[in-house]
Structure 1
Amino acid sequence: MRVSVSWLGEHLDAAALPATADEVGDAFVRVGLEVEEIHPAPDVTGPLTVGRVEEIEELTEFKKPIRYCQVALGDLTRGIVCGATNFAVGDLVVVAEPGSVLPGGFAIASRQTYGHTSDGMIASARELGLGADHSGILVLPPGTAEPGDDAKAVLGLDEPVIELAVTPDRGYCFSLRGLARELATSTDADYTDPVVRIALPDTDGDAWPVRIEDTARAPRYVARRVNGVDPKAPTPWWMQRRLITAGMRPISLTVDVTNYVMLDLGQPLHAFDAGRTSGEIVVRPAQPGETLTTLDGVVRKLDPDDLLITDDSGPIGLAGVMGGESTEIPLAADLPDGARVDVLLEAAHFDPAGVARTARRHKLPSEASKRFERVVDPALPPYAAERAAKLLVDLGGGTYADGRTDEGGVPAVPSVRMALNLPDRTAGVAYRRGATVRRLNQVGCRTDIETGTDGHGVVVATPPTWRPDLRQPADLVEEVLRLEGYDAIPSLVPPAPPGRGLTREQLRRRAVSRALAEAGHVEVLPFPFVSDGVWDQLGLPADDERRRTVAVSNPLDADRSRIATTLLPGLLDMLVRNRSRGFDDLALYTVGQIAQPGAAPTEIPDPPVTERPSDEVYERIRAALPAQPTHVAVVLSGNREPRGWWGQGRAAAWSDAVEAARLVGAAAGVTLRSARAEYAPWHPGRCAALFAGDTLVGHAGELHPKVVEALGLAPRTAAMELDLDAIPLVETLPVPSVSAYPPVAVDVALVAADDVPAADLADALTDGGGSLLEAVRLFDVYSGAQVGDGRRSLAFSLRLRAPDRTLTNEEANTARDAAVAEASRRHGAVLR
Structure 2
Amino acid sequence: MRIPVSWLIQQLELSGEHRDLDAEQIAAAFTRVGLEVEEVSPLGPVTGPVVVGRVVSIEELTEFKKPIRFCVVEVGETDDGAPETTEVVCGARNFVEGDLVVVALPGAVLPGDFAIASRKTYGRVSNGMICSASELGLGDDHSGIMVLPSGENSDVEPGDDAIELLELTDTVIELALTPDRGYCFSVRGLARELACALDQRLLDPAAIDVPAAEGPSTPVTVTDEQACPRFVLRRVTGVDPTAPTPFWVRRRLMLAGIRSISLAVDVTNYVMLELGQPMHAFDTAKLSGGLTVRRATAGEKLTTLDGATRALDPDDIVIADDSGPVSLAGVMGGASTEVTPESTDILLEAAVWDPASIARAVRRHKLPSEAAKRFERVVDPALAPAALERAARLLRDYGDGTIHPGRTDVGHPALPAPVVMAMDLPDRVAGVRYDRGVTASRLQQIGCTVEVGAADDGTPTVTAYPPSWRADLNQPADLVEEVLRLQGYDTIPAVLPKAPSGRGLTAAQRRRRQVSRTLAEHGFVEVLPFPFVSPTAWDALGLDADDPRRRTVKVLNPLEADRDELATTLLPGLLDTVVRNVSRGAREVSLFHVGQVVLPRAQQSPMPSVGVAGRPSGPEVAALDAALPAQPTHVAVVLAGPRVRAGWWGKAEQADWADAVQAARLVAEAAGVELTVTQGDTAPWHPGRCAQLRVGDFPVGHAGELHPKVVEAFGLPKRTCAMELDLDLLPLVERRPVPKVSPYPPVLLDVALVVEDSVPVGELTRALRSGGGDLLEELSLFDVFTGAQVGEGKRSLAYSLRFRAADRTLTVEEATAARDAAVAAAAERHGAALRG
**TM-score, normalisation: structure 1:** 0.80
For 1:294 and 1:541, the matched residues in 2 are separated by: 51
Secondary structure in 1 matching 2:481: helix
Instruction: Select 1:444's aligned residue among 441, 444, 447.
Output: 447
> Is contact 1:657-1:700 (8 Å) kept?
yes
In structure 2, do the counterparts of structure 1 residues 810 and 675 end up closer, same or farther at CA, with 3 Å as the change threshold?
closer
Identical aligned residues as a percent: 51
Partner of 1:5: 5
Report the counterpart of residue 46 of structure 2 in structure 1. Answer: 44
Deviation at 1:176, TM superposition (A): 1.7
* Paired AA for residue 31 in structure 1: V
- The aligned runs of 1:639-718 (5 Å cut-off) are 639-644=642-647, 649-675=652-678, 677=680, 686-703=689-706, 708=711, 711-718=714-721
What's the CA shift for 1:622?
Answer: 5.0
Q: Are residues 1:349 and 2:353 paired?
A: yes
Match of 2:23 in 1: 21
Question: How many Å separate the matches in 2 of 1:801 and 1:300?
Answer: 84
1:583/1:388 CA distance change after superposition, 3 Å: farther
RMSD: 4.8
Q: Distance in 1 between matches of 2:722 and 2:303?
A: 44
| Contact kept? 2:352, 2:379, Cα under 8 Å | no
Deviation at 1:60, TM superposition (A): 7.4
Q: Distance in 2 between matches of 1:680 and 1:86?
A: 70
Q: Which residue of 2 aligns with 1:267?
A: 277
Question: Deviation at 1:499?
Answer: 2.9
Distance of 1:316 and 1:681 partners within structure 2: 57
Residue 608 (structure 2) aligns with? 603
Of 750, 753, 757, the match for 1:752: 757
- CA offsets 1:409-441 (integer angstroms, 9 cap, x no match): 322432222233433444454444433222222
Which one has a bigger Cα radius of gyration?
A: 2
What's the CA shift string for 1:475-531, capped at 9, x where partnerless?
323322333344444554433322333333332332223223222333334444555
Return the letter of the residue paired with 1:378: P
CA contact (8 A) 1:708 1:717 kept: yes
Per-residue CA deviation, residues 197-238 of structure 1 (Å, 9 max, x unaligned), is: 26265153474645444x555544555566787777654432
> How far apart, CA to CA, are the structure 1 residues paired with 2:403 and 2:540?
58
- Tell me the amino acid that sits aligned with residue 138 of structure 2: L
State the alpha-carbon separation in 2 of the partners of residues 688 and 290 from structure 1.
Answer: 61
Partner of 1:335: none
Letter in 2 for 1:452: A
Cα 1:632–1:137 shift into 2, 3 Å: farther
CA apart distance, 1:452? 2.8
Structure 2: distance between partners of 1:449 and 1:697:
64
Q: Which amino acid aligns with 1:818?
A: A
Q: Which residue is equivalent to 1:323?
A: 332
1:156 aligns with 2:192: no
Partner of 1:180: 191
Alignment partner, residue 549 of structure 1: 553
Q: Does 1:818 align with 2:825?
A: yes
| 3-state SS in 2 of match to 1:153 | helix
Offset of residue 594 of structure 1: 4.5
SS of residue matched to 2:207: helix
Equivalent residue letter for 2:555: A
Distance 1:347 1:412, change over 3 A: closer
**TM-score, length basis structure 2:** 0.79
Which amino acid in structure 1 is aligned with residue 672 of structure 2? G
Q: CA deviation at 1:136?
A: 3.5
1:562-641 matches, within 5 Å, as 564-596=567-599, 599-603=604-608, 605-607=610-612, 619=622, 627-641=630-644
**Quick one: structure 1 residues 768 and 608, their matched pair in 2 at CA, closer, same or farther if it must change by over 3 Å?**
farther
Aligned to 1:31: 33
Partner SS state of residue 170, structure 1: helix
The one-letter amino acid paired with 1:5 is V
Q: SS at the partner of 1:162?
A: strand
Instruction: Tell me which of 375, 383, 386 is aligned to 2:378.
Output: 375
**Structure 2 residue aligned with 1:241:** 251
Matched position secondary structure for 1:184 = helix
Structure 1 unmatched ranges of 5 or more:
333-337
Asked whether the equivalents of residues 276 and 326 of structure 1 are also in contact (C-alpha less than 8 Å), the reply is no
Distance 1:782 1:112 in 2: 93
Paired residues of 2:784 and 2:797 also in contact (CA < 8 A): yes
Q: Is the 8 A contact 2:605 2:627 kept in 1?
A: no
Change (3 A) 1:456 1:146: same
Q: After the TM superposition, which residues 282-293 of structure 1 pair with which residues of structure 2 at under 5 Å, given as runs? A: 282-284=293-295
* 1:461 positional shift: 1.8
Deviations 1:348-397 (Å, cap 9, x if unpaired)? 32234x55566567766554454344433333344445544554565566
Cα distance in 1 for partners of 2:685, 2:275 equals 57
Instruction: Indicate conservation of the 8 Å contact 2:86/2:127, yes or no.
Output: no
Asked whether the 8 Å contact 1:141–1:235 carries over to 2, the reply is no
In structure 2, give the amino acid aligned to 1:239: V
Unaligned runs of 5+ in 2: 76-83
How many pairs does the alignment contain?
805
Q: Distance in 2 between matches of 1:501 and 1:443?
A: 45
Partner of 2:78: none
Structure 1 residue 714, shift from structure 2 partner: 4.2
Native 8 Å contact 1:751 1:831 kept in 2: no
Are the counterparts in 2 of residues 361 and 559 from structure 1 also a CA contact under 8 Å?
A: no
Partner of 2:138 in structure 1? 130
1:70 aligned counterpart, secondary structure: strand
The separation in 1 between residues aligned to 2:94 and 2:787, in whole angstroms, is: 81
2:48 corresponds to which letter in structure 1? G
State the SS of the aligned residue for 1:196: coil
CA distance in 2 between partners of 1:328 and 1:721 (Å) = 64
Q: Distance in 2 between matches of 1:719 and 1:86?
A: 67
Residue type matched to 2:206 in 1? V
Task: Tell me how far 1:158 sits from its aligned partner.
Answer: 0.5
C-alpha contact 2:319 2:329 (8 A) present in aligned 1: no
Aligned amino acid, residue 182 of structure 2: G
SS at match of 1:731: coil
Name the CA distance, whole Å, in 2 between partners of 1:356 and 1:706. Answer: 44
SS of the equivalent of 1:197 reads coil
Cα shift readout 1:8-34 (whole Å, capped 9, x = no counterpart): 123222547652222223333343334
Q: How far 1:160 sits from its partner (Å)?
A: 1.7
CA 69–303 in structure 1, closer or farther in 2 if over 3 Å, else same: same
Q: SS at 1:497's partner residue?
A: coil
